[in-house]
A = this chain, B = another copy of it.
Amino acid sequence: MVKKNKIKNISAEEKILAAAHKVFTTKGMNGARMQDIADEAGINKALLHYYFKDKDKLFETIFVVEAQRFFPKITMIFQSDAPLFEKIENFVSEYIDEMQENPYLPWFVINEMNRDPEKFMDKVWGKENLPKPARFLEQIEEEIKAGRIKRINPIHLFMNMISMTIFPFLGKPMFVRNLRLSDKQFNEIIEQRKKEIPKFIIDSIKK
């Protein structure tokens, strides 16, 4: 009656999830085909609908996991109590690590976010559960008042940090082509950015 953990069942459902993950994150919801997912999983298309009601449901299952992977670190930086500079270093470094392992992530998330912003935001943060930027903004204000950093609108600082961290993954095809970078070189550049971005920021705001 209750779902048992038969070895076969698990492996089928997980094959589906792995396949759906691959297809959805590379093609997006609109570009993904249920048949592609079935093929990728090596099973019959009907089995997809046996485990997951329909395409939307399957997509949402994948999507929520990926979005949770992408966003919580933004929340984290808001709420942690580490010193500002350390916080910046942690954020950049952890984010880049995450995206080096899942380079599709930024495109996937940004793409789906723009496809239907309302539904998206509600699904990622429940209507209530929003990260509170107050702590982060306050912290910057404190540093300014203490005379340790220059006056800057915290929002710009926040945007700059996130932009420099994420965008290179989105613009990769453009960067590698126009800067004549090999894949290896691009990855090296990205690796450098873990230190380069915090340095760039701190050089800019430190008094």
Contacts and interface: CB of A to CB of B under 8 A. Distances in A.
Contact of A31 (B107, B115, B160, B179): B115
A159 B173 contact: no
A162 interface: yes
A156 B196 contact: yes
A51 interface: no
* Interface of chain A: mostly helix, strand, loop or mixed: helix
A175 interface: yes
7 contacts: A27-B30, A107-B110, A121-B174, A150-B203, A156-B200, A159-B171, A166-B167
Given A121-B177, A160-B200, 8 more contacts: A28-B30, A74-B178, A107-B110, A156-B189, A156-B192, A163-B167, A163-B168, A166-B167
Contacts of A168: 159, 163
A153 B31 CA distance: 38
Contact of A170 (B110, B121, B174, B200): B110
Contacts of A196: 152-153, 156
Chain A: number of interface residues, binned into ranges? 35 or more
A113 B28 contact: no
A182 interface: no
A132 to B, nearest CB: 9
A24 to B, nearest CB: 12
Contacts of A201: 204
- Of A71, A174, A204, the most chain B CB neighbours within 10 A belong to A174
A162 B171 contact: yes
Interface string A81-111: 0000000000000000000000000010011
A205 interface: yes
A111 B110 CA distance: 9
